[in-house]
Amino acid sequence: MTETTTVTAVSAPAVPAGLAGPAGSAEAAESALRPHAEDAFADELAALAAMDDRPRPARWKMSPWAVATYLLGGTLSDGTVISPKYVGPRRIVEVAVTTLATDRALLLLGVPGTAKTWVSEHLAAAISGDSTLLVQGTAGTPEEAIRYGWNYAQLLTNGPSRAALVHSPVMRAMAEGRIARVEELTRIPADVQDSLITILSEKTLPIPELGTETQAVRGFNLIATANDRDRGVNDLSSALRRRFNTVVLPLPASAEDEVDIVSRRVDQLGRGLDLPDVPNGAHEIRRVVTVFRELRSGMTEDGRTKLKSPSGTLSTAEAISVVTNGLALAAHFGDGVLRAGDVAAGILGAVVRDPAADRLIWQEYLETVVRERDGWKDFYRACREVTA
């Protein structure tokens, strides 16, 4: 039965820039628009590994305790500050990390924007030092993406052989004792999903064309993510679901937590895009988060007024996108300070997904809540302008 945890609240040939993998140069990593976690936080990972004297599972770069500290943040005994990658109860991270130290795979489940991909990437980076063994789930994901494929030139010339095999990310992870990641598992067709059953239960990948198999070495495990709003798209079979320990990632429990998450992530994104400092936009960030939380919950933050909720998810990830876009407007077409006019259009786009129903909900919210709120006149005028 699936266990479910719900929490509320080397010398190598030159590689062209942009094509460098985990073994690429530091210069290539620095020039990347979005560096992999193991590159972006290399200093923190190195500091943790150096200070970590606790037992480590086979082929793990650090102990489970250190992995949790990397995700949640903290200060090491030498004064090194580890920034939090996930803001939430410690237990949710502890359960996820502990799962990966066993023979159970990990399924991160939650509504869109609850940092499932972000958490899976950082878990893989901390445990294996490589977050790139990734299968992106879509309706067109083939079985070869999970098992293996063939180099057809070699296959036609020499017939089936190990040299003609094209290893999938999962197959590589099994052979190297690393963490593999499967994003949006429920978007993958059911028959392709089930190709994971033997891998997760027997820890082996049969290759019948060669009469052999690839066995997983110690250190291998798999993290999958799924959007619980996609139920009914390609539901997991009971046989596959039993192979996972499911951890539900909730939306931020408090406004303060959500403001902290948005501020930290926007600051990380902004440094790579040369955007204004986040502190200059703290007031607008709080307003964006307030709007999203109120419309998402169907209630104003003081609990006095019930609201209609629009069709969109209004997730933390969307709030990050709205604020980042607003900072770009402020940087390139303003004075560098985030203002109401910079975020108004982004909020409208996030809220109004259904042009008919959502627009009415948004207009009602503006007139009954925003218009009457002290200190929000500029925000009201900016939102009315883009709504009209």
Interval 312-326: pLDDT, tens:
889 999 999 999 999
Residue 25 has pLDDT above 70, yes or no: no
- Residues 236-250 have a mean pLDDT of 93
Whole-angstrom Cα distance, residue 203 to residue 205? 7
Q: Over pLDDT 70: what percentage of the chain?
A: 91
Residue 16 has pLDDT above 50, yes or no: no
Contacts of 218 (CB under 8 A, 6+ apart): 57, 58, 59, 177
CB 38 within 8 A of CB 131: yes
Single pTM value for the model: 0.86
Whole-angstrom Cα distance, residue 93 to residue 119? 9
pLDDT on residue 227: 87
Whole-angstrom Cα distance, residue 147 to residue 166? 9
Going by DSSP bridges, is the β-strand pair 165-167/148-150 parallel, antiparallel, or unpaired? antiparallel
CA neighbor of 343 nearest in space, from 270, 288, 272: 288
pLDDT on residue 185: 95
Whole-angstrom Cα distance, residue 21 to residue 8? 36
Amino acid, res. 335: D
Residue 8 has pLDDT above 80, yes or no: no
pLDDT on residue 88: 85
Q: pLDDT tens, 143-188?
A: 999 999 999 999 998 889 999 999 999 999 999 999 999 999 999 9
pLDDT on residue 278: 72
Q: pLDDT tens, 54-100?
A: 999 999 999 999 999 999 999 999 999 999 999 888 999 999 999 99
Of 216-225, 270-279, 339-348, 354-363, give the lowest mean pLDDT range: 270-279
Residue for token digits 């390139």? 332
CA neighbor of 216 nearest in space, from 243, 178, 258, 189: 178
Whole-angstrom Cα distance, residue 34 to residue 21? 13
Contacts of 333 (CB under 8 A, 6+ apart): none
Residue for token digits 């005028």? 381
Q: What is the rounded average pLDDT for all residues in the chain? A: 89
Query: What distances in angstroms separate CA 321 from CA 37, 197, 298, 316, 375, one per listed residue?
Result: 19, 36, 22, 9, 24
CB 289 within 8 A of CB 359: no
Going by DSSP bridges, is the β-strand pair 179-183/221-227 parallel, antiparallel, or unpaired? parallel
Q: Which two tokens stand for residue 185?
A: 């598992």
pLDDT on residue 138: 92
Going by DSSP bridges, is the β-strand pair 244-248/4-6 parallel, antiparallel, or unpaired? parallel
Of 88-92, 190-194, 227-231, 280-284, give the lowest mean pLDDT range: 227-231
pLDDT on residue 233: 67
CA neighbor of 325 nearest in space, from 306, 345, 348: 345
Q: pLDDT band at residue 385, thresholds of 50, 70 and 90?
A: very high
> Terminus-to-terminus CA distance in the chain, angstroms?
53
By the 10 Å C-beta count (0-12 exposed, 13-18 middle, 19+ buried), 22 is classed as middle
